[in-house]
Chain A
Amino acid sequence: MSDIEERTRKIVVEHLGVEEDKVTENASFIDDLGADSLDTVELVMAFEEEFGIEIPDDAAETIQTFGDAVKFIKEAA
């Protein structure tokens, strides 16, 4: 398991208050992890800070699942 994946999972677990084993690659933030639309905005903000990257709004919209987030961050970081 990569460091980026682990750090990303930690943010999701802390922010959404979900069990770590629920945060799987295909887990949808909204459908599976109980996030509302504002939570997804906050997650993107947290990712930006943790990894020192910019996630533009149009890219943020494509980040639906945990796997999407990890993939985007790996490419951007």
Chain B
Amino acid sequence: MFDLTGKSALVTGASGGIGAAIARVLHDAGAAVALSGTRVEPLDALAGELGERAHVVPCNLSDQAAVAELPKQAAEAMGAVDILVNNAGITRDNLFMRMSDAEWDDVIQVNLRSAMVLSRAVMRGMMKARWGRIVNVSSIVGTTGNPGQANYAASKAGLVGMSKSLAYEVASRGITVNCVAPGFITTAMTDKLTDDQKSAILSQVPAGRMGEPGEIAAAVLYLASPEAAYVTGTTLHVNGGMAMI
């Protein structure tokens, strides 16, 4: 099950905890992977660990010109992009009344706009191949909201709406577009939380613990697999029961 031999996957944000875990499981399933991120060192380290079929394609997604180049670099490295995982995400938290235009724009650019540009760029190859998988990593807060994260929540909810619309358009071409919405996962992003914040969060999680990056990666692997061909436009919530939606 979930054999991706012969497929090529581009994973953004692969220098982060969740992105690295996603790249690892796709690679383990047989796919070639292009690892994208801003920090080259962790990408090189991951590529070294994975060995063959792993390519490093650094990209700063806040740079629009670099975003436009990324799909070409990935296709050159791997021959094609059959699977696109838009995982990269940044936060610029602030109370809504204090949020600057720049804080809003930066988050929308990296989390939402780059996902659109990358998806559009890989669509031609997927249409010709009559096969493609796009998995957008959303977030629980895109559905529930979160104080201090109006920009982040808007970007993550935006991914869901974008995915559904694109899923409609290309379903007849064998291309699926889905989201995975993590709850609270142990990553650098959640390490910044204080112990008090963590225990407050955990009191809301029926599973009683944070999730692991590998548990998000497993959901992405499923949606990227041939077995998930009939699943499109959906959001798979992986949140320990924190929000049953």
- Name A's B-contacting residues (CB within 8 A): 38, 41-42, 45
Pick the interface stretch among B37-45, B73-81, B150-158, B165-173: B165-173
Chain A contacts for B173, CB-based, 8 A:
38
> Whole-angstrom distance between the alpha carbons of A38 and B172 in the complex?
10
Contacts of B124 in A (CB 8 A): 45
Q: Is the interface of B mostly helix, strand, loop or mixed?
A: helix
From 172 to 192 in chain B, residues with beta carbon under 8 angstroms from any chain A beta carbon are 172-173
With an 8 A cutoff between CB atoms, is B127 at the interface? Answer: yes
In the complex, whether B98 has a CB less than 8 A from a CB of chain A is no
Contacts of A42 in B (CB 8 A): 127
Contact assessment for A45 and B169 in the assembled complex, using a CB-CB cutoff below 8 Å: no
Please give, as numbers and ranges, the residues of chain A lying within 8 Å of B169 by CB-CB distance: 38
Tell me the minimal C-beta distance from A36 to chain B in angstroms. Answer: 8
B interface, CB within 8 angstroms of A: 124, 127-128, 169-170, 172-173
- Find the A residue at minimum CB distance from B124: A45
Give chain B residues whose Cβ lies under 8 Å from the Cβ of A41: 127
Closest 7 CB pairs of A and B: A42-B127, A45-B124, A38-B169, A38-B170, A45-B127, A38-B173, A38-B172
8 further A-B pairs in the complex, CB-CB below 8 A; given A38-B127, A38-B169: A38-B170, A38-B172, A38-B173, A41-B127, A42-B127, A45-B124, A45-B127, A45-B128
- CB<8 Å pairs between A and B, sample of 10: A38-B127, A38-B169, A38-B170, A38-B172, A38-B173, A41-B127, A42-B127, A45-B124, A45-B127, A45-B128
The distance from the CB of B64 to the nearest CB of chain A, in whole angstroms, is 19
**Min distance, Cβ B71 to any Cβ of chain A, angstroms:** 15
A42 to B124, CA, bound (A): 8
Inter-chain CA distance A45–B120, complex, in Å, is 14
CB neighbours (8 Å) of B170 from chain A are 38
Chain A: CB-nearest residue to B170: A38
> Residue on B with the closest CB to A36?
B172
- CA–CA, A38 and B170, complex, Å: 8
Residues of A within 8 A of B128 (CB): 45
Instruction: Give CA–CA (A28, B170) in the complex, Å.
Output: 22
Q: How far is the CA of A38 from the CA of B128 in the complex (A)?
A: 12
